[in-house]
Amino acid sequence: MSLQHLFSPFQLGDLQLPNRLVMAPLTRQRSLQPGNIPSELNAIYYAQRANAGLIISEASQVCPEGQGYAWTPGIHTEEQVAGWQKVTHAVHEQNGRIFLQLWHVGRISHPLLQPNGADPVAPSAIQANAEVYVQEADGSHHKAATSKPRALQLDELPGIVAAYAHGAANAVRAGFDGVEVHAANGYLLDQFLCSNSNQRTDAYGGSAENRARLVLQVVDAVVTTLGDSSKVGIRISPMGTFGDVLDANPLETFSYLAEQLNSRKLGYLHINRPDWLGGTFEGFDSLLRALRDIYQGTLIIAGGQTAESGEQAIAEGLADLIAYGRPYIANPDLLARFKTEAQLNPLDGNTLYGGGEQGYTDYPALG
Ligand code: PHB
């Protein structure tokens, strides 16, 4: 099959992407401790993958309260900014482009990951049936159930918006080409969007307009910080249930959000398929088509994509860019492998989260 669409260039704001492949944001839990600081090893990993038209970094907490798993990197301290500078420098040396993903996990956390052992925060005090990864004071580490969060007070929400803006400003100082607001996969902004995790009775809960209020305020603050809306993307996961979220009317919720995003003229809207970990989600493809019709800008789709499915999606006009997650973990030279129709390396599921070089920077490239 010809993959001419996948290999064609794309203009994203003032960035010229040489191809339509995006490296999806991927949690790998390999930042330096203490301090959750990106390292030289992380720089090597990203530079190996600079063949992508665009790299989106792993999710990075915008404040200490935004962390939900041990060893994930942050973007709120000077040491983290200096660490990320190593990463952006290495990617740019390889002629790549990289956005940072701005993250707050909300209720997908645990007191062991929170400042002063506090309870995590969320739109409402509803515990998620989900797991996180924690490290104990004695250094041992293990999976744990998320703990019951406390509901954010109305007067705390400006501080949440400010944390994203601060993270965005730090991302610019760290040399990123742009940022992606993580509003997907059951984390804080998605907890506000989805009806089962947001039972607020103030201006941030109830209607789709109210549930989308915080994410739009975050987007606007981040755009103001960067001073160029084309350098801001947003990731959503309509119909997704990861993180124990469930929206009663995803067509209504996400159509409203997509309409509101039109006037923001962002770099892109990034949609993660709900079946990225398997499962069947009836009606998602028609929902995706509806969102494609509503949203007037650049669309990225992610989740279980192959070279062929990506080519077909672009050819049909369903998406502009295709994000690859697990294929980019196992194949640093994914572009070359697609071009030569080479076999892909198998993914080692045991080295996805945490550890060092193994299963991270040691996947072989061709020849
Ligand atoms: C994860 O750590 O499993 C994870 C992180 C961010 C996502 C999805 C999954 O968006």
Amino acid letter, 295: Y
Spans of all domains in the chain: 10-351
Letter for the amino acid at 227? G
For residue 72, the ligand 1 atom closest to its alpha carbon is 2
Question: What's the CA gap between 9 and 245, in Å, rounded?
Answer: 36
Distance 37 CA to ligand 1 centre (A): 18
Q: Is the pLDDT of residue 242 over 90?
A: yes
Q: Is 184 a pocket residue for ligand 1 (Cβ < 6 Å)?
A: yes
For ligand 1, whether the C-beta of 230 sits within 6 Å is no
185, 244, 276: which to mutate for ligand 1, most atoms within 8 A of CB?
185
For residue 59 and ligand 1, the question of a CB distance below 6 A is answered with yes
pLDDT at 344 over 90: yes
Fold exhibited by the domain 10-351:
TIM Barrel (3.20.20)
Q: Is the pLDDT of residue 40 over 90?
A: yes
Sign (positive/negative) of CA torsion 235, 241, 243, 249? positive
Based on the residue annotation, tell me whether 360 is a catalytic residue of this protein: no
pLDDT, one tens digit per residue, over 146-192 is: 999 999 999 999 999 999 999 999 999 999 999 999 999 999 999 99
Beta bridge partners of 141: 135
pLDDT at 273: 98
pLDDT digits (tens, 9 = 90+) for 262-302: 999 999 999 999 999 999 999 999 999 999 999 999 999 99
Residue identifier of the C-alpha nearest atom 7 of ligand 1: 185
Residues 7-23 have pLDDT tens digits of: 999 999 999 999 999 99
Per-residue pLDDT at 338: 98
360 lines ligand 1 (CB under 6 A): no
> Would you say residue 317 has pLDDT above 90?
yes
Cα 274 to its chain centre, rounded Å, is 14
pLDDT-derived band at 238 (thresholds 50, 70, 90) equals: very high
Cβ(211)–Cβ(193) under 8 Å? yes
**What is the rounded average pLDDT for all residues in the chain?**
98
pLDDT surpasses 90 at 367:
no
Ligand 1 close to Cβ of residue 69 (< 6 A): yes
**Contact at 8 Å (CB) between 110 and 101?**
no
SS3 label, residue 239:
coil
15-50 b/e with 16+ CB inside 10 Å = b? Answer: bebbbbbbbbbbbbbbbbeeebbbeeebbbbbbbbb
What's the gap in Å between 25 CA and the centre of ligand 1? Answer: 9
Cα separation, 108 vs 329, in Å, equals 24
pLDDT at 59 over 90: yes
pLDDT in tens, 348-365: 999 999 999 999 999 999
C-beta of 27 in contact with ligand 1 (< 6 A): yes
Mean pLDDT of 114-131: 98
Q: Categorize the per-residue pLDDT at 1 as very low, low, confident or very high, splitting at 50, 70 and 90.
A: confident
pLDDT tens for residues 61-106? 999 999 999 999 999 999 999 999 999 999 999 999 999 999 999 9
Atom of ligand 1 nearest to the CA of 58: 6
**Which of 69, 187, 324, 363 is flagged as catalytic?**
187
Per-residue pLDDT, averaged over 326-347, amounts to 98
Give CA–CA dist 91/266, Å, rounded: 23
